Each structure stands twice: as C-alpha cells, then as structure tokens.
Amino acid sequence: MSKVVVCGALGRMGMVIGGIVSESPDMDLVGGVDVKEGSFYGVPVAAAERMGAFLDDVRPDVIIDFTIAAAAVGNIRAASERGIALVVGTTGFSPDQQEEIRTAVEGHVPAVISSNFSVGVNLFWALIREAARRVPPDYDIEVTEAHHRYKQDAPSGTATTILDILDAERGPHTRVYGREGIAPRGDEIGVHVVRGGDIVGDHTVMFAGNHEVLELSHRAYDRAVFARGAVRAAGWVVGKEPGIYSMNDVLGLQ
C-alpha cells in the first residue's frame, strides 16, 4: 500500500488525482499540499509554507505534483531531501529549473516526469517521431495547441515535447511563435497557441507539402486521462532506482 501526497491538491488536476487515489485499493491518500490549508477526500491539505513539517508527519512513499513551475522545483527538492519518490506533471519549467530538478533527483530519488500523462499523447509522440523520420525534408511543419482560458504557460509542455521530438529527428529548427504582418516563411517550425473556454487539451502537428497535408492530432476530452496516467506512474515509481523516468518506462513503450 503506497502512501500518497498530492501537491496542488485543490487545483483542477489535484482534485481529479485525489479522487482516483482515494478510490485505489493499493493506495492510501494521506494528504495534500496547496497554497492555503484545507481538506480533500477526507484528508488534510497542508499550507505550502509548512510542507516540510507535514511530510515529516505523514511520511508518504510518493508525491504527485501538479502545481506551477516555481513551486514544483521547491516541492521536488523537499521530496528528494526526504527520499520520497515523485511523479511530476507540472509544465512550464525554464532550462535553469530543469537543471535544478535534474540535480535534485538524479542519484537521490526515482521520479517520473512528463509533460503529458495520457496514454494517447504518449502514443501520439511516438507517431510524430515516426512521421518526422519519414516525411520528406522539404515539407513545412506547423504545431498548434489549444487549452482552457486558465492555462498559464504557453506553449504547452506537450507542444514543447513535440518540438523537441521534431528537432531530434529533423535537426534543430527556429521556432516562430505566431505570425503577424509581412512574415515570409523560412526553414522554421511555426508554433500556434489558442486559449479559450474549457478546452481540456488539443495538439496538432501539420506536415505541409505541395498539393497535400498530413496531420496528426490528439484531443483530450477529460482531465481524467492525465490523472489516471499520473496515478499509474505513482504506483510504478515507488521502489525504483533513483533517476528520471518517462511515461514510456511506465507504459513499457519504446
């Protein structure tokens, strides 16, 4: 039975994750952490400022973090200092923050870190990699993502992962974020961000050649797809060797 703490407990993702953990027969939801204290699913939510004391009190096996980048870095450090395994879904990390996370995790604790925990998006990334290898080099690439009006970071973590996959397979390209005015196309990848309403998360990669367009898309209809993946990762990561793992490791995908 793994003891679980959810950071960002009272947020959109935290609430869905807490519900799934509380109903999991092999998991024990021992609490949450958020900016203000409260409760969820019958367990306490500690205020972020007393997170260290709370962790020392409830002693979780794993922390699931869906907060904001600046907060997540501190939460990861707090978990690492206590030998607690991690699942991190927070997005929007700067290169410096990514380096801080790597230093805190490697050699200390096991952590599954992914910009998207849905099974569909992990397959989508594999399909994009395959397409990027096969599509002729002269085809133009445009990446579009759409999310709800409250999303803070842009482009999404999932879109950033897509851009990293495209760079890895086709060589680094300049990223042009939107276009305006006279904006002739160069050898670039266009990146387009839409924010509105309650869109859960849509991503499309377009490969445009002469007289034809190949598009790969993923659309999430419910946050449960991310939450179920994160809870699955939490069950998997406890007891693993220290290091950073991906959802491919959890799902057994290449």
Ligand X SMILES: O=C(O)C1=N[C@H](C(=O)O)C[C@H](O)C1
Contact 10, 34 (CB under 8 A): yes
3-state secondary structure of 106: coil
- Nearest CA to 27 out of 241, 227, 253 is that of 227
Q: Which strands sit side by side in the sheet containing 243-245, from one edge to the other?
A: 38-40, 43-47, 27-34, 2-7, 62-65, 85-88, 110-113, 243-245
CA distances (Å), origin 206, targets 140, 172, 200: 8, 17, 20
Q: Is 147 a known active-site residue?
A: yes
Annotated binding residue at 164? no
218 makes contact with ligand X (CB under 6 A) = no
Candidate list 3, 36, 108, 147, residue with the active-site label:
147
144 makes contact with ligand NAI (CB under 6 A) = no
Annotated binding residue at 148? yes
Annotated binding residue at 11? yes
Stretch that binds ligand NAI, among 22-30, 110-118, 134-142, 233-241 (CB under 6 A): 110-118
CA distances (Å), origin 170, targets 26, 123, 125, 194, 248: 43, 19, 15, 25, 21
67 makes contact with ligand NAI (CB under 6 A) = yes
Q: How many CB atoms lie within 10 A of CB 13?
A: 21
Q: Select 84 or 231, whichever has its Cβ closest to ligand X.
A: 231
Annotated binding residue at 158? yes
Binders in 70-129 for ligand X, by CB under 6 A? 91, 115-116
Whole-number minimum distance, CB 117 to ligand X, in Å? 8
- Nearest CA to 166 out of 191, 141, 146 is that of 141
Task: Show the binding pattern over residues 165-194: x = contacts ligand NAI (CB under 6 A), - = does not.
Answer: ------------------------------
Candidate list 151, 173, 192, 211, residue with the active-site label:
151
CB burial of 121-152 (b: ≥16 within 10 Å; e: otherwise) equals: bbebbeebbebbeebeeebebbbbbbbeeebe
144 makes contact with ligand X (CB under 6 A) = no
Identify the burial level of 161 via C-beta atoms within 10 angstroms of its C-beta, where 0-12 means exposed, 13-18 middle and 19 or more buried. Answer: buried
Q: Is 151 a known active-site residue?
A: yes
Q: Select 201 or 207, whichever has its Cβ closest to ligand NAI.
A: 201
Annotated binding residue at 117? yes
Stretch that binds ligand NAI, among 67-75, 97-105, 123-131, 185-193 (CB under 6 A): 67-75
The residue with its CB nearest to ligand X is: 201
Annotated binding residue at 116? yes
- Nearest CA to 144 out of 103, 117, 179, 183 is that of 179
Binding residues for NAD(+): 8-13, 34, 89-91, 114-117
Chain positions contacting ligand X, by CB under 6 A: 91, 115-116, 147, 151, 156-158, 201
Chain positions contacting ligand NAI, by CB under 6 A: 7-8, 10-14, 33-35, 48, 66-68, 71, 89-92, 114-117, 153, 157, 226
